[in-house]
């Protein structure tokens, strides 16, 4: 079964005042690239989270975003605290300066609030046991992502199968057309020789030799045999349970190589048109393979 590299998954969980949400997006990539956005309190989860992603995805560019909110405020990631010991030292120092220099006025909140580190903004302190909960939520989002990727893969697999049908039909028509081309060439050559010789009898031996040369030059038996083999292998890989994107890309290149050789050996317009049809179909397959894991 084919799996697409494009998808989206989301999972949410409410735990008391805190709400956890995980979103995963993936697009195609030749390799695997994982980017994470985590609350400050959970930065240590980056490594196990990437390991979890790799248990689901083999290829693709995957972006994982986890957010934390608190129903009692606008954000659950930060908390503001007063640094009372430091503020006390500031006040004592200000009063000492005031007394020593005989300065007027009072030391009040306005004198202290703007001093460095009196107010601290820190990541919320969360129970480490919540880390396993967060990984579980991320796993649920990845499962949703994988489901979407599998569904897309099913559509692509059907599309590939239909396009391979098209190539097989064109290849069969080319194979059938080849002997007809030889016979038509023989008839044209015989007619042309008669005209040039003013109706004089044709040397059948020499004519047969010319036909044999053409038949050898235009013979595509080997190419058709290899093409048939590649198409069968392509179909077999479509039903594999392993990620087959790279192998399918390689086989598509081999199919294209055989078709190019067939095209170079063809001097018949019908065969040339069939080759163009195959190459057009292959190009569509190649484009779609960029999305296969």
pLDDT, tens digit (0-9, with 9 covering 90-100), for 64-82: 999 887 766 555 566 677 7
Beta bridge partners of 9: 24
C-alpha torsion sign, points 226, 229, 231, 237: negative
The helix or strand, by DSSP H or E, that contains position 269, with its residue range, turns out to be helix 269-289
Q: Give the model's pLDDT for residue 222.
A: 84
Which band of pLDDT confidence, cut at 50, 70 and 90, is reported for residue 269? Answer: confident
Rounded to the nearest 5 percent, the helix, strand and coil shares of the chain are 60, 15, 20
Domain 7-75+125-148 fold: Ribosomal Protein S5; domain 2 (3.30.230)
Q: Give the model's pLDDT for residue 150.
A: 93
If phi > 0 it is left, if psi is from -120 to 50 it is alpha, else beta; for residue 12 that is beta
| Domains in the chain: boundaries | 7-75+125-148, 78-122, 152-289
Cα–Cα dist 52/154, whole Å: 24
Asked if residues 218 and 243 have their Cβ atoms less than 8 Å apart, the reply is no
Structure tokens at 217: 């030059």
Q: Give the model's pLDDT for residue 194.
A: 62
Instruction: Indicate if the pLDDT at residue 226 is higher than 70.
Output: yes
Cα-flanking dihedrals φ and ψ of residue 259, to 5°?
A: -65, -40
pLDDT, tens digit (0-9, with 9 covering 90-100), for 165-219: 999 999 999 888 877 776 766 666 666 666 656 655 655 666 666 655 655 566 7
The closest alpha carbon to 28, from 287, 284, 238, 235, belongs to 287
């Amino acid at each position: 079964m084919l799996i697409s590299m494009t998808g989206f998954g989301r999972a949410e969980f409410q735990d008391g005042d805190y709400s956890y949400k995980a979103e995963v997006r993936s697009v195609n990539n030749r390799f695997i690239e994982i980017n994470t956005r985590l609350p400050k309190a959970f930065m240590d989860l980056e490594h196990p989270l990437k390991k979890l992603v790799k248990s689901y995805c083999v290829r693709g560019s995957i972006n994982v975003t986890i957010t934390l909110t608190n129903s009692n405020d606008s954000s659950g990631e930060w908390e503001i605290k007063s640094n009372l010991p430091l503020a006390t030292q500031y006040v004592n120092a200000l009063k000492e300066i005031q007394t020593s220099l005989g300065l007027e006025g009072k030391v009040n909140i306005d004198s202290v609030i703007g001093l460095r580190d009196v107010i601290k903004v820190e990541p919320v302190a969360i129970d480490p046991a919540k880390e396993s909960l967060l990984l579980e939520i991320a796993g649920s989002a990845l499962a949703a992502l994988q489901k979407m990727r599998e569904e897309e893969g099913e559509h692509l697999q059907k599309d590939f199968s239909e396009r391979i049908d098209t190539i097989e039909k064109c290849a069969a028509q080319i194979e059938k057309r080849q002997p007809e081309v030889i016979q038509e060439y023989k008839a044209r050559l015989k007619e042309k020789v008669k005209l040039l010789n003013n109706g004089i009898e044709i040397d059948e031996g020499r004519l047969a030799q010319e036909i044999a040369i053409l038949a050898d030059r235009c013979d595509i038996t080997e190419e058709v045999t290899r093409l048939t083999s590649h198409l069968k292998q392509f179909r077999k890989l479509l039903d594999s349970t392993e990620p087959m994107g790279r192998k399918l890309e390689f086989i598509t290149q081999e199919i294209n190589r055989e078709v190019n050789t067939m095209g170079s050996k063809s001097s018949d317009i019908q065969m040339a048109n069939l080759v163009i049809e195959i190459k057009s179909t292959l190009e569509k397959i190649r484009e779609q393979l960029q999305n296969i894991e």
